[in-house]
Amino acid sequence: MEDLEKIAKDVVHCAYQIHKQLGPGLLEKVYEICLEFELKNCGYDVKRQTKVAIKYKGIEFPESLRLDLIVNDSIIIEVKAVE
């Protein structure tokens, strides 16, 4: 649990640094790429645009979820940008 809290704090810190540097108004993909870069620089294992199968009641559907970022196989980040 302590590890998850540290990762979460680092995610927020990195996101804040990116926002401070780049400001608002860019596409989500820009923030996503920058956040991946910053988190990797912090030593985390980061996967971007990972597909995850949808399984329901023993059935696996051909559609899948696409997760923006997964940090250390434990925290999912969905990047959002608004006008």
Give one DSSP letter per residue of 23-48, joined into a string.
Answer: -S-S-HHHHHHHHHHHHHHTT--EEE
pLDDT at 64: 85
**pTM of the predicted structure, to 2 decimals:** 0.87
Domain edges within the chain: 2-77
Mean pLDDT of successive 10-residue stretches along the chain, which has 83 residues:
90 97 94 98 96 92 91 95 81
pLDDT at 2: 73
